[in-house]
Chain A
């Protein structure tokens, strides 16, 4: 199962390291990363493969959100289908 992780907030040292460390621990593979500034906010978008994850989706989602709170960022993970179905025919 592929999912999209988005990190939105003020840029700071260690964001990618923190997120990728959680993904490594959960055996989630990063397929693509892009980062940009949108409306003045740092925005990192990751496409990941969570098919072989060692934890379930909800736990991973909770861990990422908690890390986000700790770093004062908003970190979300969503199934990629929501983006695909909304924007592609």
Chain B
């Protein structure tokens, strides 16, 4: 009736390999909150969020105790605020403050959706929201923002790419005293998913229902532990098979928790995002998995191939384990949040260029990368353009979450704290992209966007 091996394996994954549910994220539509008066708009948003997610934290904690599995974060994603605040007369920052107050009231650490989707162009509301991002993220602590600047269907909005370079620098300047932390809460996307439960890029897409529960699992430590046991002599088909099986187990747990949360909260279950999301904790690292495959350091030649295998095997294992997979689903490589990545940067093994190559084969983009504070707006925009090109051409999501840390130069240490981790400031290419970014306009959609 009880298989001791199975029980012990599960306990081991949880207690010594950091297996956890990274987040239960409740998506909430705010489409019915729009109002011309700014005060009323904020009241409506605050009221709806606090009403809808009233029991989120309590329920998450009860599920944690029932199954004995840690659920690290309970979070909220809302409809892109640019759409909701568009018809209001006031300053968008007030909406961010209302979101922040709602998050505080509910006891959650992050609320996502201070966002705009401008891949094909701006509306007046989009522009006002994007311009307000620096102040909004600097004056709140829990609000996360994102801007989608490209899709495979629409191409790359280079005006928005240039704009975001400026916005990121403003975010950095406004929070210069705190390692430019506002930039860590801002993601620039290509092909943004509408049901991603992970921060800082979570928002509740316009095609989503009134409310939904999405779950993000984790588990780099578990995959690393399994690979370690497999040993160095196994060939790659055995490695892929083992990762697949491990991803299956991890995802099943996410599915179980998602269904239970959905039942208890009486909110439809959306997706399991089966991303391998590292944390700064020792051993909970995607870089260590790649190194366990035989690379001396993450970033050595072969890293892209290793990551491609990992990303694919995680999806194959996860897809059978859940009725509905979505979000980003793959391996994350946020540098500051992964102790192995930080170590690789520090030892000179991992560069920005190698990370860019890695983003071609994994689920996100350049994530949580600290660069020198004097990096120019145009260089940041050009980094975004490169990632957006990878995303649009390869029909995948890419994102840039980059932190030009004011007052820091290449090689300096930074500390963002908590799950955001810390690390080393990475160097950027010193040649100018100024004239390239100044052109503006739109890079047309790739030919394979014409699929109809």
Contact = CB atoms under 8 A, between A and B. Distances in A.
B62 to A, nearest CB: 8
Contacts of B1: 31-32, 47
Interface string B245-256: 000010011011
A57 B66 contact: yes
Interface of A: 4, 6, 8, 31-32, 34, 36, 38, 43, 45, 47, 57-58, 61, 74, 76-79, 81-83, 85-87
A87 B6 contact: yes
A73 B413 CA distance: 40
Interface in B1-32: 1-4, 6-11, 15
B65 A6 contact: no
Contacts of A57: 65-66
Interface string B381-423: 0000000000000000000000000000000000000000000
A83 B1 CA distance: 12
Nearest to A43: B8
Interface in B243-281: 249, 252-253, 255-256
Q: Which of A43, A61, A79 has the most CB of B within 10 A?
A: A79
Q: Which of B6, B7, B8 has the most CB of A within 10 A?
A: B7
9 contacts: A34-B2, A45-B7, A76-B68, A78-B66, A82-B68, A82-B69, A82-B253, A82-B256, A86-B249
A39 to B, nearest CB: 8
A31 B1 CA distance: 9
How big is the B interface, by class?
Answer: 20 to 34
Interface of A is mostly: strand
B67 interface: yes
B5 to A, nearest CB: 8
**Sorted from nearest, which 3 A-B pairs have the closest CB atoms?**
A78-B68, A82-B67, A87-B6
A6 B255 CA distance: 23
B290 to A, nearest CB: 25
Contacts of A86: 6, 10, 249, 252-253, 256
Given A6-B11, A83-B10, A86-B253, A45 B67 contact: no
A66 to B, nearest CB: 14
Given A32-B2, A81-B256, A85-B253, A6 B7 contact: yes
Interface in B68-124: 68-69
A65 to B, nearest CB: 10
Contacts of B3: 87
A78 B255 CA distance: 17
Contact of B10 (A47, A77, A82): A82
A48 to B, nearest CB: 11
